[in-house]
Chains A and B, each alone.
Chain A
Amino acid sequence: MLFKKVALATAIGLVASNAMAECEIGARVSIVGNEFPAIQAVGSAAAECSGSEVKSNLTADHQKINVAGMSGNPAEYTSAIIANSSIVALMNEDVIRPLDDLVAKHGADLKKNQLITIDGKIMAVAFMANAQHLVYRKDVLEEIGVEPPTTYEEMLAAAEMIREKGIMDNPLGGAYAAGWNLAQEFNNMYIGMGGDFFKAGTAEVSINNEAGIAALEMMKSLSEYMNPDFLTHDSNATSAEWKAGNVAIMNMWGSRVGPLRETEGSSQEVVDNTMIAGPMTVGGGETPATTLWWDGWTVAKNISDEEAEATFIALNHAIRPDMLNEETSPMAVWLIDGYEPTPAATGVFDAANRGSVPYPMLPFQGLLHTSLGEELSDFMQGKEDAATALADVEAAYTAKAKEKGFL
């Protein structure tokens, strides 16, 4: 009995001292970020640090709270985990601090391409890459006898064959929920068509052109092969449709592929036949119709130096090379030193190798994204034509950009 107690106490002591030896912080750490497996892994790894409290608030609504939570002095959140789109809002409001001094002191393990450098100052540390790419059902494509599509035109043709053969009624999937998701699908398609969002060097929008109309027409054609409720389907709902075996081909986030390969809420048949490939092109273009993303962390400006240092140490600990193991490696395409690409990463790697464009980090891109999300659903429902929808987007964007002082 006594022996057992001693053994237990020693074991607990060892574990505790181990964690302490690895990461010791001297001030509070409070993290806000998005909610998907890879970020949850980073959040819980940061919580291993001892010496002070580590709180994390990981939610899909992080963008609605991070600026407000970092604007106060002292800021509620000492760090926000963000992506290349959302860091812009934090920089526009000037709530994050340059990390050069902390990188010099504690960041010896970080690789150069992890450091997001803007105008010579390190503003964020990236830990994973992401992109939307093709996900397909091997068995269904074999049944109709076609290769995995490399263009959206081939995707349409395959969808028609699947429907004709009566295998599935609505064989295509996609996160087309009105709002952010629908706008992002337009961004992909517009980039694939070779369009530019703004007149060079200005904040003046120019999407009402041939590329814009072609992008919208392609989205409309695709939606005819989707579940009729597609305007309410975000990435979660689309993944659920996939797992239920209702969808055969879709364009989906690399970070969401891991859960698609789990049998929970799905069947062995779907799991075994879920395959991925690089992003598709559209309209004969060379650039894949997708965008490249990184996810990384920042440190708030309005906090004490001790808190900033503690935050840096905790998050640096969370993305140290030996956090990678069998469980965490397939969760994302990690930018961390020593990461060996898993089969789940091939789609994102292919996207990067084929010259996909990173999501633009422009101060006014977010306003255009919101305007697209508001105004495109009328077109998708067939209430107006493509040119009118794009004119509406431009007008909505212009009103917002004038208000925010960009025009």
Chain B
Amino acid sequence: MAMGEGECTPATKPVNRPLIRVRDLACHFVASPPPLIRLLQRRRRSLLKAVDGVSFDIARGTTFSVVGESGCGKSTIARLLVGLLPPTRGRIEFDGVDITGDRARRNARALRRRMQIIFQDATASLDPRWRVSAIVGEPIRAFRLADGHERTERVSTLLSAVGLDPNDGNRYPHQFSSGQRQRVSIARALAGNPDFIVCDEPTSSLDVSVQAQILNLLKDLQTRLGLTYLFISHNMAVVSYVSDEIAVMYLGRFCEVAATQELLRSPRHPYTRMLLETIPDIDAPGVRRPPIGGEAPSAIDTPSDCCAFHPRCPFADDRCRRERPALRPAGPAQVACHAVEENRIG
């Protein structure tokens, strides 16, 4: 794991304790109609397993990324971590404190200030009727961090920190470009002095040139403020640029978790290989890229007794259709694949 061991002082914080520890996290949604209608239509109860047993740690000051296709459950993980969704099963620990379950809800409230989220759609994530200064000042007011003049001052500092003019606070969100709007939501996320920020596809709705600016801003803030990120994206190129560790997600489960360099250099899971082949390469123009066959199947009622990826996998055999692979160490990485385990892939 890419942990900066030297960064934490052993006296105050245990060196090996990650900021975020997630164990067997699951979130299921009922996908069938209400009972009476279901009875009339003679349909079985069906579950959408958006996230189905996911475990990971995020070390302080590092970026952990989750990549995957649309609908694989990566945004659900983001929402679970900041408490927007209750988990069906599993445990989330923030700085050693359990924040799941009814008993832990009180802890969670106190810890709210320390975790924030940045959403994909910067336009939708800012209240169109609020001035930017009020939007950025909302966490400061909510957590009673500062008042009056001091708050105004803090908002100005925050706006400068994300590369905006302090006078922009008087404007409304619709008067900004989408990149600037994303800067505003970053400023709001920073307003409560958090330790941990969930970035849910923060650059997906932006132009490529602006994407780079926002990513650099996020990296810059991370080094300056010692932030820990959970970064959600479907874009392999973006993820490889920002992360220390990457988890590849498919239909609610991780299929490979590895340090960024390791994953890029030697991808092991067949799905990871396919994803990496989608990154455009400036050194190899004109290369034919084999498209990933088929579409991600629906997460509704996925059978639990086979590998979820087997319909699209070129290496699938009988075992893959019978038995679900678990995440197992494979070299320095963790991979959930029978073919990798049996060394069937060349």
Q: Do A and B come from one complex?
A: no
| Chain B interface residues toward A at CB < 8 A | none
